[in-house]
Amino acid sequence: YAAHNARTDAQLTYPQPGTAYIAVQSNVPILPVGLLGTEQILQNMMRLRRTTVTVNIGKAFGPIDIQSLDKIERRRRMDLLTEEIMVRIAELFPPENRGPYRRAGARSAA
């Protein structure tokens, strides 16, 4: 979960640290997934209502190999990769749910 957060306003948030690190260390492709409707699960469960959750799956990318880079460049690339992950997730959301990634579409170079 790059942006796992218990929000009730259906907005994408800033990423949690470590998502890109895990992907790089594992040497696996990254699969962007956007979940819409999860902010209503708890409230609806308390009222014994069903909640519709929409799962949008993006195109996998990677794996990303940055092990050969020096420490400073590796950190910079890790930050760029984290941003790239979030942009790709944001593209799976309607613009009104993208939060700080409302302008998603202009990709960074990870």
Residue ranges, the chain, pLDDT below 70: 1-8, 104-110
- Report the distance separating Cα 72 and Cα 64, nearest Å: 16
Global pTM value: 0.80
Q: Residue 80: what pLDDT?
A: 95
Residue carrying the six token digits 């800033």: 14
What's the pLDDT score for residue 19?
87
| Dihedral sign for Cα atoms in the order 74, 75, 81, 84 | negative
pLDDT value of position 110: 42
Q: Is residue 29 in some structural domain?
A: yes
- For residue 61, the cross-strand partners are 30
Q: In total, how many domains does the chain have?
A: 1
pLDDT at 8: 63
Domain hosting 56: range is 19-99
Question: What tens digit of pLDDT does each residue of 23-45 get?
Answer: 999 999 999 999 999 889 999 99
43 part of a folded domain: yes
